[in-house]
Structure 1
Amino acid sequence: METTPKRETFADIINAETPTLVDFFAEWCGPCKMMSPILKEFAGQMGDRVRVIKIDVDQNPNAAQAYRIQGVPTLILFQKGEIKWRQSGVVHKHQLEQIVSQFTNA
């Protein structure tokens, strides 16, 4: 008998062994638009060593409130449910690589 796979929740994602970089953003935010291609390139380069997800703070106000997001973009790196790093504002790709490499086997 085939079972439908369980839908992955935000908690499932951030509690994983693989580091997860969460981009809290807003559609109207200029710096957020600057981060988008940086994160896309970063995610492509890192492959399965890190997971990158985006959360729109206007569509997910509870998540924004839970993590005390006061400005966008805010990037938070989670691993095994713990916040390993957090920064607001535009972050360059090489800086993201240095930060994430501390928490991966790469």
Structure 2
Amino acid sequence: MAKKSFDQLIQESKKPVFVDFWAAWCGPCTTVSPMIKRLAEEFHETLTVVKINVDEQPEVAAKYQVQGIPALMLFDKGMIKWRATGALPYEHIRAEVIKSLGE
């Protein structure tokens, strides 16, 4: 099966897509990473979670106007429903996901 482009993924996914834009050299990204993993585990039935390395995919970061990292976004049917920049506490991220999912 061919690898889907990021745009295909966010538009065609049956579930909302949570995206973590990050880079290996980013300290706050390292702080957020375990939280993103926890989010993926907790919401695996209702959410697709992906990580985009901004150094490896700068065109995706540019398209979605990522100004700082970590940049967190929640897409539903290709539309951004929520976005934030910086290392947020897990409970804040989780609350925003729940609100966006309408749970």
After TM superposition, the score normalised by the length of structure 1 is 0.87
In the alignment, what sits opposite 1:101? 98
1:90 corresponds to which of 87, 90, 99: 87
Across the two proteins, how many residue pairs are aligned to each other?
102
Cα pair 2:6 2:60 within 8 Å, conserved = no
In the alignment, what sits opposite 2:6? 10
1:11 maps to amino acid: D
Cα pair 1:20 1:79 within 8 Å, conserved = yes
The root-mean-square deviation of aligned C-alpha atoms, in Å, is 1.5
Say yes or no: does 1:79 pair with 2:76. yes
For structure 2, the residue ranges without an aligned partner over 5 or more in a row are: none
Say yes or no: does 1:40 pair with 2:37. yes
Cα pair 2:82 2:100 within 8 Å, conserved = no
For structure 1, the residue ranges without an aligned partner over 5 or more in a row are: none
Which structure is larger by alpha-carbon Rg, 1 or 2? Answer: 1
In structure 1, distance between residues paired with 2:25 and 2:36: 18
Q: Percent identity between the aligned chains?
A: 37
2:25 corresponds to which of 15, 24, 28: 28
The more displaced of 71-80 and 13-22 is 13-22
After TM superposition, the score normalised by the length of structure 2 is 0.89
Cα pair 1:21 1:75 within 8 Å, conserved = yes
Instruction: Give, in angstroms, the shift of residue 92 of structure 1.
Output: 1.9
Deviations, residues 45-65 of structure 1 (Å, cap 9, x unaligned): 112211111111111110111
